[in-house]
Amino acid sequence: MDQEHAGEDHICIVGAGQAAASLALRLRHGGYSGALTLFGDEPHPPYQRPPLSKAYLKREWTVDRLYLRPAEFWSGVGVDVVTGAPVTAIDPVARTLEVGGRKVAWTKLALATGTRPRPLPPEFAGISGVYELRGLADADRLEGEIRPGRRLLVLGGGYVGLETAAVAAKAGLVVTVVERAARILERVACAETSDVIRALHAGHGVRILEGRSVAGVEARDGTVAAVTLDDGTRLEVDAVLVGIGVLPRDELARAAGLTCENGIVVDVHGRTSMPGIWAAGDCASFPFQGLPTRLESVQNAVDQAECAADDMLGHARSYAPVPWFWSDQYDMKLQIVGLNRGYDAVLRRRSERGESLWYFRAGRMIAVDALNDARTYMAAKKLLEAGAVVTLDEVAAEGFDPVARMKRAAA
């Protein structure tokens, strides 16, 4: 089999999402002038995923607005975006990959393969009216169910499930959220934040059932009609959205012999266990604060990809992010900065704008959830970026002003 690009400088990026796009642009802006190819599974150029459960599902955004750049932009900067082209194998020794029955040679390779939804509960096998929400095609399929009076069951009380529930409730659907864990957002937020979000949904008529799981499913003419929970509750439904989390897409890397453990293992520069191969974004597990860490966020996709690209260009630097996340639900904007892993105390503060939850470990601030409080979010972000030591006693003091504290840290 002939090898395309054999003998020439060629960087290949497997994946065509946010991380892949950021990596490609950084390589070009950093001076790389050789051949550069992105291989994507989907029939679209790189696009944003967060709006799928928000503005796109609400029909506020068109497909074109989702695109990170217009489709024609990529050829203009010398990036060959190959869509509808799943890579099926990687050979790290021969430095080739297989795609569409052909072999393509590479001199350097970046894996930005993202994540895939966790498998559907087996009870839903072969039943229609059951949806996931990971890509554009998923959102297009689900959109047909967002009609007033329909009964939607959301399995999973994480961000995607709750954002979809909010869109559906605003559109006039009867929405029930079922969360297997003891509370919604248990994996990512403190109980106080969960309480705020739960009350927000209750105020919009959404029923949230926590600590429950699916015990049985009924279908009518092949379409889901009812779901029975483990406590005997029976819910009649017209559609089900399964949002029970994602898994890193590391199958290609595993098959090629790369070290994988909850994602493709990389060092602080984005290098995998194989020479000439990097990984970045949702699929990559990197050392952070002394622990293997995998972040699913736009911030990580962009920043880690740019760090890996710099390393590919010979400008090594360590990736040490200040993570940030956000979620839009109804008129609530939840902004999170920092990683609350290992927190042992939470302090709640209210302002005239909204409120915030401050996380501490051993008396030092490590993260903040800001609810309709962008001022506090920005101040906390700058404090974390500056490495400022902000104590629990400081934040608890009457009259504490995060912006004033930020300005002192910057002085």
Q: How do the pLDDT tens digits run along the chain, 411 residues long?
A: 457 887 789 999 999 999 999 999 999 999 999 999 999 999 999 999 999 999 999 999 999 999 999 999 999 999 999 999 999 999 999 999 999 999 999 999 999 999 999 999 999 999 999 999 999 999 999 999 999 999 999 999 999 999 999 999 999 999 999 999 999 999 999 999 999 999 999 999 999 999 999 999 999 999 999 999 999 999 999 999 999 999 999 999 999 999 999 999 999 999 999 999 999 999 999 999 999 999 999 999 999 999 999 999 999 999 999 999 999 999 999 999 999 999 999 999 998 889 999 999 999 999 999 999 999 999 999 999 999 999 999 999 999 999 999 999 987
Q: How far apart are CA 169 and CA 306, in angstroms?
A: 38
Tell the burial category of 119 from Cβ atoms under 10 Å away from its Cβ (0-12, 13-18, 19+): exposed
- Number of Cβ within a 10 Å radius of residue 355: 17
- Can you give the pTM of this predicted structure? 0.95
What is the dihedral sign for C-alpha 328, 333, 336, 342?
Answer: negative
> Which tokens go with 153?
């069951």
Closest CA to 249 of 120, 364, 381, 117: 117
Please tell me the predicted confidence (pLDDT) of residue 247. Answer: 97
The second-level CATH assignment, the architecture, of 331-410 is: 2-Layer Sandwich (3.30)
Fold (topology level) of 3-116+247-312? FAD/NAD(P)-binding domain (3.50.50)
- Number of Cβ within a 10 Å radius of residue 314: 8
Please tell me the predicted confidence (pLDDT) of residue 1. Answer: 43
Q: Is domain 119-244 classified as CATH 3.40.630.30?
A: no
Residue 26, by phi and psi: left (phi above 0), alpha (psi -120 to 50) or beta?
alpha
Please tell me the predicted confidence (pLDDT) of residue 2. Answer: 55
Domains 3-116+247-312 and 119-244 share a fold: yes
> Which tokens go with 106?
């590479």
Q: Report domain extents, the chain.
A: 3-116+247-312, 119-244, 331-410
> Which tokens go with 364?
């030092």
What values do phi and psi take at 270, rounded to 5?
95, 5
Please tell me the predicted confidence (pLDDT) of residue 62. Answer: 94
